[in-house]
Chains A and B, each alone.
Chain A
Amino acid sequence: MAMDTKKFPLSKDTAIYTRGLSKTFGKVAAVEGLALEIPAGEVFGLLGPNGAGKTTTIRMLSALIAPTAGEAWVAGYRVGADDTKLRKVVGILTETPGLYEQLSAERNLGFFAQMYDVEKVDEQVERYLHMLGLWNRRRDAVGTFSKGMRQKLAIARALLHEPQVLFLDEPTSGLDPEAAHLVRDFISELGSEGRTIVLCTHNLDEADRLCDRVAVFKTRLLALDSPLNLRRKLFGREVVFHLTKVNPGFSEALRQKAFVQSVETMDNKLVVKLDDPERRNPELVQELVSLGAEIQFLGEKRQSLEDVYLQLIRDQVQP
């Protein structure tokens, strides 16, 4: 990884680092004081409502627009200091694929490969056309492609020069479920290759599945952690005991335990909130069995990332 060692504040394992990154358009603040540190090889999700500043952030980090305040380093290059070099080491999938409709898929990729100074243009173009299943349509004008094919071609374009950091802005937006699934699988593969990927999406299930960590933000950063930790931080951990029949004494007995934070009864279920269920569950099971409860099964209640997101956006408070 190229490194501006004089200025880069962190180790070479950090792919993206921002400090107080801000952008205003006139009097409107699009991004305020964003502080991020994304290690190399991480799949990182940027979540937020429309107008939250996700695209603006991606554009700043790929040196398309300049920050109003703060600093950012991407792949060792400081944003605003050496933007032409920075653009060589990042790839971006823009919100709209933006392809030359009259040109063939091959010609589109060939053009961008040369723009990125790719050495073996033909080989690289062929590689990605094969990889994304577009080889047989390589000579067809892009204008004849389906939305899914265009999106795949745009992803190929973002990858042609083997960027160290890849920005994907709504990669599955508007795709049918099959095409979206293919694109997600491809992103997952890219992540496993050790590329740093910043994924900007409204699809929270997608973020949950693909991202190592996510940042929820609405102009300001609201939360940043792995999806699992965000759930736990926001909602705690809850274990659900499915019983054949719930006796009022069961919940009362569990509440007596010092480590139990709360107990709720729902139909034939007991929902117990506690820390460290891996260690405490056996004790709870023993207690319930001793009280005559018949446990059918138990499991941890999983809040969806959507629940986390909605809670954060509604409250706009730090968890």
Chain B
Amino acid sequence: MKKVWVLVGKEWAEVFKNKMVLFSVAFMPLIFCIIPLVILYTMQGAAPADISGIEAELGAAFDQLRLQCGPLVELDCTQFLILQQFMVLFLMMPAIIPVTIASYSIVGEKNTHTLEPLLATPITTGQLLAGKALAAAIPAVVASSASFLIFAGGTALLAASPAVALQLFSPLWVLGIFLVGPLLSLAGVSLAVMISSRVNDPRAAEQLAVLVILPILALFLGQLAGVVVINQGLLLIIAGALVLVDAALLFFATRLFQRESILTRWK
């Protein structure tokens, strides 16, 4: 395990000297925590709107939304429903942020001719890939978690009542952000590292690895359209599935990592 952390340290020392990488890690968490807080800020002191027209138009769907609000009514419920849409973004963030770093991980080493000396050391393929994956996933999870905590703190301060924050930051979402998020991140970077070891252009790796967010994007759009209701049960199923997916991706990444092909066929 020591070698894995040594590799992680080297990766961080290298990638964080690059201002663009720093920007890519910090930008999305910053934007995603600021936007909902700005919305909340602008809603301060707003009078409860007359929603009887919307209620009649949505019918059963409106009742479902009401159910999600639990004990919240009027402005509290509106704020809750708006903020809830952002929660999925916090789930997606750990998977999106590290893709750039992870995509460059293997193919980048190859292009700078550092891969051969690295592979000549007694590092195993598992250690190499684990180091590369963790180096990309950890900053993403830390940045996403920090962003989420700022968002949570801001919500507690700016929401119409403390009940909004209590309803929003239920065990469901805490589970989602702090369990599903890191698992998604690991899936994203494992896929990116795997692709990175199979292509000879970092851009191709990045473009392909971004595909990992498609299922999460579908979940987000499904929620917006009211087709999917994210609840504790669904999140636990997703978390369980992700554990299997992560294990499978790491297994296949190790199996697909052909030292010889990488050294001899890539030019």
List residues of A whose CB falls within 8 A of some B CB: 25, 59, 62, 64-66, 84-85, 87-88, 90, 92, 94, 96-103, 107, 111-112, 114-117, 154, 157
Contacts and interface: CB of A to CB of B under 8 A. Distances in A.
9 contacts: A62-B120, A64-B263, A87-B121, A87-B122, A98-B115, A98-B117, A100-B114, A112-B121, A117-B122
Contacts of A117: 122
A94 B116 contact: yes
Given A64-B259, A84-B124, A102-B17, A115 B118 contact: yes
B3 interface: yes
B113 interface: yes
Contacts of A59: 263-264
Nearest to A91: B120
B76 to A, nearest CB: 50
A8 B124 CA distance: 24
A114 B117 contact: no
Contact of B260 (A65, A102, A112): A65
A99 B116 CA distance: 10
Interface stretch (B6-14, B161-169, B222-230): B6-14
A107 B122 contact: no
Given A64-B263, A98-B115, A87 B10 contact: no
A115 B117 CA distance: 11
Contact of A107 (B13, B118, B119): B13
A111 B10 contact: yes
Contacts of B117: 92, 94, 98, 112, 154, 157
B120 A94 contact: yes
* Majority secondary structure, B binding face: helix
B221 interface: no
Given A84-B124, A102-B14, 19 more contacts: A25-B264, A65-B264, A66-B260, A90-B120, A94-B116, A97-B113, A98-B112, A98-B116, A100-B10, A100-B14, A102-B13, A102-B18, A103-B10, A103-B17, A115-B6, A115-B118, A115-B122, A115-B123, A116-B121
A64 B14 CA distance: 25
Contacts of B2: 114
Contact of B6 (A62, A64, A66, A114): A114
B111 to A, nearest CB: 10
Contact of A103 (B7, B13, B260): B13
A92 B115 CA distance: 13
A111 B6 contact: yes
A296 to B, nearest CB: 55
Contact of B122 (A101, A116, A157): A116
Interface string B100-129: 000000000000111111111111100000
Nearest to A101: B112
Contacts of B119: 64
A188 B113 CA distance: 27
